[in-house]
Chain A
């Protein structure tokens, strides 16, 4: 197998840098993402180092096959991480630089030809002022936008959702190719059949922080109660907003209807979710909305605002409801509960949400991340120019499995994504339009006659198709021979 880089001595390390450890008391989606990817890359035999702040625990330890190194605190972790990378730069063969508002600027510490992927969950430009005073907030905004643009240049970016991809280009104006690599989901171990609660139950899981705006939901409850008198709301999670939310519940006289659980262990949380009718996420914007998917996995649809991240994870009318105006929240919740009142209808919704959640696996996420690192390595080593012009356009090609040939996969890149849906192979060709897609297919041996076949369809990928090209689990097209053969049956001769 080809190595990750040139002439290094010692181990070949893939380094994942993130501000917090997954053991951190305030750990969220970003930490989970890094940990899941680290574990899977390690399982593939790669030497992985997870570099993070030192909040608690030992400064260095082995966990799930990879090494955790903890240095510095909330702000000092950044210089510490750079220093560590600089010292070990000869061994580092790939960096996943996870940005939580402030990136690590790892390209400053590693050689130019070392692959770096900037991992973006969501864009914080508007959130800095929510958490910091004006001068500090301005510094944060500058580092996230202008600073990143300078330091990362044309290096590859991984965004967890289509919204984040758009914002990375439009708000941060990053210049590298931006790939969508969604979060996975730990499918819960099959729970003993949990019955749906008798009274309409809403369950929300997440940290209690200002931008999640759970106060909007609590404020909407009196209105919902007017038409759904037996409704109950359960909030699972901890955070700085807890006291304020508690006071709000008391002030609105909702003590009997709203319960703040604090943190629950995974089992208790899933059990509560499985008994719920609905989850509501009133956040002003997320990277992706993992909690929505966790509820979906239990067959629970979601109500959310039409905001970045959530408009990707909630499919309006299919796995939940998207609300445009803040003032419509109470109405939307009421309508959703009335719809779900019918058991047969609720079962249909549950089936759809489960199928949707099942598309997102951490295996897929780790695979795509590994391919992106490999593609970056190829790009940095290769000197000849790219065939495809760099563009944000993605083209979707739909090929009936009965006519497709294994050799056609030569038309695709490592980072292209595929999925199988009712007898069709669906491929997303990155940085490509219909014209360049047809050229690539022709180069791979697709004849003009086959291109004329109406069942072979080439079109610009719609935003909703980027996340999940077909109904199957999206996966990366491994460039290695056999990468697809193992998973795909239909290659006609």
Chain B
């Protein structure tokens, strides 16, 4: 089903004050996991020399996610906001578009990637990189706990379909990506995918604009209790088609202008 493009967060009132780093955590019915994730991230961030904020985006939970987020033992500020537009992509977009941070990143509520990856990413961003993504597939990265077979097959199919969109990136779907704040806001403002394939669209958009993407290897452990269901997988595959379509339209538009 086609839904109209999400309006970008235009209201300045809903944007948060600027900090050095904001990490967006999209959450749907995560009352069981969000607490540990917030605690682990904050534990890691509190010793950094940057001013950091965690942003939990509730995507319409029907459990205590947001309350647990409020109560989580955090040593850095935690903001809880909502996104009534369904989809992980929509939730992350809301978090990014309401941010004024110098750097902005996002990670999954199950924290499958170790928080220490943040340091590597920030070091690279500080040195001038504009997009740093965690990768389970580039040299040095690995799956500590393997994914179930269905996920492996689905992932393979997804990579085959998406290969030409992102170029030489080994892993587009790891839920741990960091951006220069302005670059992130520009990319997300022109994105339209609300579902699980949103990161692919962001990377494809970055590629068409000639922005270099740096991959850092991570050790990744599969977490049970994922909210990704078969239906979502199928939807993600369809979204790859939509990304292709919207990119070629943009391309055509630019050719006409030239």
- Give me the interface of A with B, judged by CB distance under 8 Å: 165-166, 169-170, 388-389, 391-393, 395, 431-436, 438-439, 442, 448, 451-452, 458-460, 462-464
Contacts and interface: CB of A to CB of B under 8 A. Distances in A.
Q: Which of A388, A433, A448, A459 has its CB near the most chain B CB atoms (within 10 A)? A: A433
A331 to B, nearest CB: 23
A170 B62 contact: yes
Contacts of B86: 389, 391
A460 B66 contact: yes
17 contacts: A165-B62, A166-B63, A389-B86, A391-B60, A391-B85, A392-B60, A392-B62, A434-B81, A434-B82, A439-B11, A448-B13, A460-B58, A460-B82, A462-B67, A462-B70, A463-B66, A464-B67
Contacts of A435: 7, 9, 11, 14, 83-84, 94
Interface string B35-70: 000000000000000000000001111111011001
- Most chain B beta carbons < 10 A, residue from A389, A432, A436, A448: A389
Contacts of A451: 11, 13
Contacts of B66: 460, 462-463
B67 A432 contact: no
B142 interface: no
A173 to B, nearest CB: 10
B67 A433 contact: no
Given A166-B63, A463-B67, A438 B85 contact: no
Given A434-B81, A462-B70, A393 B60 contact: yes
Contacts of A460: 58, 66, 80-82
A451 B12 CA distance: 9
Interface of B: 3, 7, 9, 11-14, 29, 58-64, 66-67, 70, 80-86, 94
A298 to B, nearest CB: 29
Contacts of B63: 166, 170
Nearest to B85: A389
Contacts of B14: 434-435, 438, 458
A112 B80 CA distance: 39
Contacts of A391: 60, 84-86
Contacts of A439: 11
Nearest to A442: B11
Contact of B83 (A393, A448, A458): A393
Nearest to A436: B84
SS class, residues of chain B in contact with chain A: loop
Given A389-B85, A391-B84, A391-B85, A463 B64 contact: yes
B11 A389 contact: no
Contacts of A170: 29, 62-63
Contacts, number: 72
Contact of B11 (A393, A438, A463): A438
A393 B84 contact: yes
Nearest to A391: B84
B8 to A, nearest CB: 10
Contacts of B3: 389
Contacts of A433: 81-85, 94
A464 B58 CA distance: 16
B13 A393 contact: no
A132 B209 CA distance: 64
Q: What 6 A-B pairs come out closest when comparing CB atoms?
A: A391-B84, A460-B82, A433-B82, A433-B84, A166-B62, A392-B60
Contact of A169 (B7, B59, B62, B94): B62
B81 A452 contact: no
A220 B2 CA distance: 58
B109 to A, nearest CB: 16
Contacts of B61: 392
Contacts of B59: 393
Contacts of A165: 62
Contacts of A166: 62-63
Contacts of B7: 435
B62 A432 contact: no
B32 to A, nearest CB: 13
B99 to A, nearest CB: 14
A261 B239 CA distance: 64
A170 to B, nearest CB: 6
Contact of A438 (B13, B62, B83): B13
Contacts of B12: 448, 452
A458 B7 CA distance: 18
Given A433-B81, A433-B85, A435-B7, 8 more contacts: A170-B63, A435-B9, A435-B84, A448-B11, A458-B13, A463-B64, A463-B67, A464-B67
Given A170-B63, A438-B13, A393 B82 contact: yes
Contacts of B81: 433-434, 460
A39 to B, nearest CB: 32
Nearest to B70: A462
Contacts of A388: 84
Contacts of B94: 433, 435
Residue from A391, A431, A442, A451 with most neighbouring chain B CB atoms (10 Å): A391
A245 B128 CA distance: 73
Interface centre among B7, B14, B81, B82 (most CB of A within 10 A): B82
Contacts of B60: 391-393
A391 B86 CA distance: 7
A411 B43 CA distance: 42
Contacts of A395: 82
Nearest to A458: B14
Contacts of A389: 3, 84-86
A435 B70 CA distance: 20
A327 B70 CA distance: 28
B102 to A, nearest CB: 23
A90 to B, nearest CB: 35
Contacts of B84: 388-389, 391, 393, 431-433, 435-436
Q: Give the one of B11, B12, B14, B61 with max A CB within 10 A.
A: B11
A393 B58 CA distance: 8
Nearest to A464: B67
B91 to A, nearest CB: 10
Contacts of A392: 60-62
Nearest to B14: A434
Nearest to B61: A392
A166 B67 CA distance: 14
B95 to A, nearest CB: 12
